[in-house]
Chains A and B, each alone.
Chain A
């Protein structure tokens, strides 16, 4: 059973790019964990304070085209260094999306209406999201309310998440 879960943070903007996720000035780091404290420090979003708001978060929920821009895998690494191993969005930029699965992390695409519902609930209560990869289902809990949403992964994406990433998979198969 492959399960991801955590307290979720909603970031209400489309096109959040990899420079905003982790600025280029930290690309000189070779150790992944060093990136942790700098996650989204340049992201300017009304009411968003990265130091405060990212603490204890395990899941991000956001809008279209998340992770556009640079190919830097430092973006998922910076998320992972903060314990965030799931991003749920209306859509993703290709390289970021592949990087998530290559790292054995989870990028879930949901319809805008489903994302809207999560955003609305987040406005009133703290949000917890539980993702079951085998069932292809997320469970959202916001205060007293709980609902489930199906999501689909390709067989390849599922295999990467279950294998813990692309390096081992490729070395065994090619």
Chain B
């Protein structure tokens, strides 16, 4: 019987199967941030077990609230910083070098196909874009990961999601994942691993694949895995060039983890995205999804471009393309938060920061801040945000606030009008058909 990617990864990491059913896996990476790790550190100290299984496999960053906004968040940073120093964790990213965890860790080359990775953060599934099994866990799992380098998982039943067709201009990976979640719902993949495949996924960049994998958890999935291929190898090449004679050898090695033709899946869904249009959310659940055109005209108070979903350089390039030479509406405030210092620097070199600033955007340092309503752009009660983030729960960006999730292109277009708007990059086929000629949507 053939195996899925997750099953192959489990096979080479299996330490124990206590009581059957559970798989204790050896961890290649434990990622840490300052919100969920300090409580694990305090608990380890209290138990007299302040140890780290392998400081080279543990990577840490301060990203959720940075710069610290008050004495409590300063203390969270201090606990993490002192712990990293005490245990010789050399890959610790403090202010000035820090970025959103799921953007900076891949960018530093810490993720490889076939890895098992945990972090005390639900969007850890992002790293599945590299063909890794990466899962968000709670503080106790994180604590055991830090101490022993293991974590327990159920059998990785896999839902295969095949994306076929061709994406229209102006429709992005964010729209694809919103469509996936709309179709399978917020618990459609609970306790399952999603394997994303098909020609559309094959054609996506690593950054776009990260957007796709990032939101797998919004459908309940443990991890969202893309098949490692030449695109993966190219992204990683500068980090792995000493390990392999050439790219072909790296690809051959990573291909160990590709699913067998006769792999057994818990489910198989094929989604043709040829007719897909830009999407946004309308309620308080990530599966409350509608075409942007159905929501057009909805006023927003704040536009936010950033986060582990859509704060990478390709996202900023698309947003800048939409707003170049234009101004945001008087009724809206707009924030862009490049996800890492490297993204920020690149955005400056390419002139994107100037485009944002000229349009009236506030450009912040890299941080998760506003996405979960902790800092750098929290909403007031009754306010509405258009955001490139991943979660639209009630009050997520601030108590009493509403969030509409969307792609960077749509968010940028929305900043220009102050209401939910399709970007100029998208040509509405319905309107084209009616008039017999191409009409650019308003922006």
Contacts and interface: CB of A to CB of B under 8 A. Distances in A.
Interface of A: 15, 17, 19-20, 23-25, 27-30, 32, 42, 44, 64-65, 68-73, 76, 91-96, 98-99, 102-103, 154-156, 158-159, 165-167, 170-171, 173-174
Interface in B131-154: 136-141, 143-144, 147-148, 150, 152
A174 B145 CA distance: 11
A68 B141 contact: no
Among A65, A93, A156, the most chain B Cβ lie within 10 Å of the Cβ of A156
B76 A30 contact: yes
Contacts of A94: 190-191, 220, 222
A71 B147 contact: no
B72 A68 contact: no
Interface string B384-400: 00000001011110010
9 contacts: A25-B374, A27-B64, A30-B38, A69-B393, A98-B137, A98-B152, A154-B21, A156-B22, A174-B16
A95 B137 contact: yes
B245 interface: no
Interface centre among B49, B65, B70, B191 (most CB of A within 10 A): B191
B18 A156 contact: yes
A174 B18 CA distance: 11
A19 B20 contact: no
A73 B140 contact: yes
Interface in B25-72: 35-36, 38-39, 42-43, 47, 49, 64-65, 70, 72
Given A23-B395, A93-B190, A167-B144, 15 more contacts: A15-B187, A25-B374, A27-B64, A28-B73, A30-B38, A70-B121, A73-B138, A73-B140, A76-B138, A96-B138, A98-B138, A99-B138, A155-B18, A167-B143, A171-B144
B211 to A, nearest CB: 18
B187 A159 contact: no
B408 interface: no
B399 A73 contact: no
B76 A42 contact: no
A28 B76 contact: yes
B340 interface: no
Interface size bracket, B side: 35 or more
Given A69-B122, A73-B36, A93-B190, A20 B393 contact: yes
A91 B15 CA distance: 28
B172 to A, nearest CB: 23
B73 A155 contact: no
Contacts of B38: 30
A19 B122 CA distance: 12
A25 B187 contact: no
B395 A99 contact: no
B137 A69 contact: no
Contacts of B35: 27-28, 72
B341 interface: no
Interface in B151-193: 152, 186-187, 190-191
Nearest to A94: B191
Interface of B: 15-16, 18-22, 24, 35-36, 38-39, 42-43, 47, 49, 64-65, 70, 72-73, 75-76, 79, 120-122, 124, 136-141, 143-144, 147-148, 150, 152, 186-187, 190-191, 220, 222, 285, 372-374, 391, 393-396, 399
A30 B42 contact: yes
Nearest to B19: A155
A97 to B, nearest CB: 8
A102 B140 contact: yes
A26 B43 CA distance: 18
B190 A170 contact: no
A28 B69 CA distance: 10
A167 B147 contact: yes
A91 B124 CA distance: 22
Given A23-B399, A71-B36, A166 B187 contact: no
A52 B394 CA distance: 22
A166 B148 contact: no
Given A24-B374, A166-B144, A171 B49 contact: yes
B96 to A, nearest CB: 21
B373 A166 contact: no
A174 B15 contact: yes
A92 B222 CA distance: 13
Contact of B152 (A29, A42, A68, A156): A156
Given A24-B372, A25-B373, A167-B147, A71 B70 contact: no
A71 B21 contact: no
Contacts of A158: 19
Contacts of B22: 154, 156
Given A19-B394, A30-B38, A174-B16, A166 B140 contact: yes
Contacts of A173: 16, 18
Contacts of A64: 187
B285 A15 contact: yes
A10 B355 CA distance: 52
A58 to B, nearest CB: 21
B395 A170 contact: no
